[in-house]
A and B are shown apart, each in its own frame.
Chain A
Amino acid sequence: MGVLDPLVRLWRFNGGLHPPTRKAPSNAQPARALPPPPRLLLPLTQHVGAAARPVVNPGQHVGRGELLAAADGYVSAALHAPTSGTVVALEARPIAHPSGLSAPCLVLDADDADAWGALPAPLADWRTAAAAEIRRRVREAGIVGLGGAAFPTAVKLAAEPPPNLLIVNGAECEPYITCDDRLMRERAAAIVGGVLILRHALGAAAALVAIEDDKPEALAAMRAAVAASGAAELRVQAVPTRYPSGGERQLIRVLTGREVPSGGLPAELGIVCQNVATAAAVFEAITTGRPLTARYVTVTGAGVHTPQVVEARIGTPVADLVAACGGYTAAAARLIYGGPMMGFALADDGVPLGKGGNCILVAGATELAPPAPALPCIRCGDCVRACPADLLPQQLYWHARAREFERAGELGLFDCIECGCCAAVCPSRLPLVQYYRHAKGELLAAERERHKADLARERHGARQARQAREEAERAARLAAKKAHPAPAPEAAAPAAATATAPASVATAPTAAASPAPTTTDDPRQAAIAAALARAQARRARAAADATAGTSTDAAPGDDDGRG
């Protein structure tokens, strides 16, 4: 019996909403491929994880698809040139982030050629390729989850043990967003090809493509593509339209009846989820060698002249996207990056489209809920009914408001997926999700502080233990000297020097400057010499970075506060 055979019925999650979907204007015509804008802004963090490490210098000319910045660490993603042109700067620019803060970006001025650079050879027969090879190529193509989360795809492909089931998410449950709908209608074969590649790389037995039933054209196109592929253990499944059925945990519940444990990952259930657009990007990368340089994005709302889906280069400023769709209408009042439920408001349209950007919503003044003053909570419980995580949002709110963050954590604050259902139904118009984000931030900050304090305490304890040990050793030597008053090597000085040297590299030179090693202290002196060498190497690397013309902002590992 196959993995899919028992999955004959659908389940439901509690809560959720049926907001007006408003997908109609933007999904009516085919996606239009936009030419690259004159200037592209490419943040080094367009993904979850460490910032990419730049490998180009300002002034350098690059072809489309050439590497601009390499993945730096396991959870990171490479960045490629979305068009051919000249890198003009590496500097801090405002990016699409709720904080509105700036982050290091590569600035690329397009030439008119839009010519591909050198690309890796296509992997012609991926069916016989090793999983590790596919994973490596997906990683090198800079592919991240294109549904919005932007988690590096290659990391998810390393699930161990191999999952039973690959769920491919084409639910697209959030109002207004239509890019996956168009992609499924237009590139169903590429998506199915990508699904098969992903399934092969994962070693998963079966794959299920889930699409909300308000997208009949996408369902038909995908079903036809699956039939044409002739693949077994691959099915397209329509799921009821209900926000947030496209949430990973909710979708798994709907399809399998199982719940991802709190704080856990779908892999614990033998399941891996990927978005349909991610699958298409993987297909492209494996079969053509082309890395991720463009994506489908919905530009919609009453504030834009011609709502539509466009295929835009990563790094295209939002202003250029809107201009390509006819520009702003007189009604334009709010600019939202992402959907109306989970997206965040942009103050300025100069920020670029990132890899995870699926929608630019330019809302009219009355299109979304006009801001209203918050009234006190009347405990009506509508939020409880709407919550897909089965939380008690009003109690979380009370505790978050009272700054009882620990209590909110005990009540399941971190099970909140920030879908916004509670705030969307709140008759008192309380910004509930904002309270939860704040509470989570406070708890995480407290956790970091605690961790730091623990480390400091550990270090302190270790130092005291070492000092005690050295004191004992010295006393023992003294006793030995008294017993045998023969001349002995001078051992006390280095011991005293190392006693004041903690593990940190900064003080290593001081320790090394102590008197010449004696035979009894050899291992200790060797360790100090090694630490000194490490410190010198680090200084040399830092100097090299500085001379390479990179600003201090671009230091790898720069924490932009995402998370």
Chain B
Amino acid sequence: MLFPTASSPHLHTGASVGALMRRVLYALLPGIAAYVWLFGPAVLAQLALASTVALACEAAALALRGRPLAPALGDGSALVTAWLLALALPALAPWWLTALGTAFAIVVAKHLYGGLGYNPFNPAMIGYVVLLVSFPREMSTWPGARELLAQPADLAASLRLIFGAGGLDHVLALDALSAPTPLDSLRTGLGLGRGVAEIVASPAFGVLGGRGWELASLAFLAGGLWLCWTRTAAWQIPAGMLGALALTATVPWLVDPQHHASPALHLASGGALLGAFFIATDPVSASTTPRGRLLYGAGIGVLTYVIRAWGGYPDGIAFATLLMNIAAPTIDAYTRPRVFGHGPR
């Protein structure tokens, strides 16, 4: 009787890249639900659009590279990129914006670098930054949160706005629905010389951050904690990032609270929680050693604050993540754990 041979170990826990990516998608669901409640069904349309484009681009890139389609399409990594990008874009962004960003993320940021596992940068953030730099107006036109609008857009209206052909009534309809994000308001207000207390007293702000936005932040926090609990995401990265962001925000706030927002506002606004738990934790482009992950996360936190406070953009998660992506291999090289049996213990 002849048996097949394979190298040890013969036992496997059953972990798979597909299962890991699916857990990330599940963990995004609470945040998606909050977004839908806030911004209406347009969010779902954006997710569907981004998913379709991502899978199509993934398949095309694999075919061009002569790679088998099934394993890569089944691993769910393209969907994770698509969802993260879709959640980072304004809910009523025109379809071509979403499609372009997704295609760039998958084809250029992922496959031109060698596909899953080889990309030095977070593909979703590359797609986001390309759009942010190229189409600043479309990228900053966020719909207002549900509480701020007289009449939120229903599904039909949302689809018309996303897939519409432009024109005056389109622009007017979009204007009627849009509102500055909390970080936009903060930036504009501070630029006009108003104090933080005055700015956050406006109806656009709630208890922690932007009205409504804070709910989405809490939903991402819940999903993210579950990700860390299941060890899908390394806890060190969000801990380092949120800790560093809070610490960096605390010092200027204590010194001059009129011109610097509170750490709580920084944590609950913009992409801080989505970024900390879902974007910075992308394992491929992050640091891999335990101490390195803390440092890597902390770097993103500090850079995010620097960009928000002194940079040219209201939020800085994407740039901060990409900058730390470059640093990840160096961080890894300097934070190797002590090997068993080496040196003092």
Contact = CB atoms under 8 A, between A and B. Distances in A.
Interface residues of B, number: 44
Interface in A394-439: 394-395, 411-412, 415, 418-421, 423-429, 431, 433-434, 437
Interface in B272-311: 283-284, 286, 288-290, 293
B3 interface: yes
A271 interface: no
A389 B2 CA distance: 35
B22 to A, nearest CB: 11
A381 interface: yes
Given A259-B341, A335-B3, A373-B71, A428 B10 contact: no
Interface residues of A, number: 74
B11 A341 contact: yes
Interface in B226-243: 231, 234
A337 B163 CA distance: 63
Nearest to B233: A380
B332 A395 contact: yes
Contacts, number: 177
B288 A394 contact: yes
Interface string B1-44: 11111111111111111011000000000000000000000000
Interface stretch (A147-155, A280-288, A344-352, A540-548): A344-352
Contacts of B336: 392, 395, 411
A431 B11 contact: no
A425 B16 CA distance: 9
Contacts of A382: 15, 231
Interface stretch (B114-122, B132-140, B184-192, B198-206): B114-122
B18 to A, nearest CB: 8
Nearest to B290: A384
A346 B3 contact: yes
A296 interface: no
Nearest to A15: B340
B5 A249 contact: no
A502 interface: no
The SS class assigned to the A binding surface is loop
A429 B5 contact: no
A100 B293 CA distance: 43
A415 B340 contact: yes
Contacts of A259: 340-341, 345
Contacts of B8: 338, 340-345, 418, 420, 423, 433
Contacts of A426: 12, 15
A348 B2 contact: yes
B40 to A, nearest CB: 34
Nearest to A328: B1
Contacts of B115: 376
Contacts of A100: 5
B196 to A, nearest CB: 39
Contacts of A388: 340
A390 B7 contact: no
A68 interface: no
A381 B286 CA distance: 10
A415 B2 CA distance: 34
A424 B283 contact: no
A412 B339 contact: yes
Given A382-B15, A423-B8, 18 more contacts: A19-B13, A259-B340, A259-B341, A261-B341, A263-B341, A328-B1, A340-B8, A349-B3, A375-B71, A376-B118, A378-B117, A381-B289, A381-B293, A415-B342, A420-B9, A423-B9, A423-B12, A433-B9
7 contacts: A345-B10, A361-B10, A380-B283, A395-B332, A415-B341, A421-B9, A427-B20
By Cβ-Cβ distance, the 3 closest A-B pairs, closest first, are: A420-B9, A369-B12, A376-B117
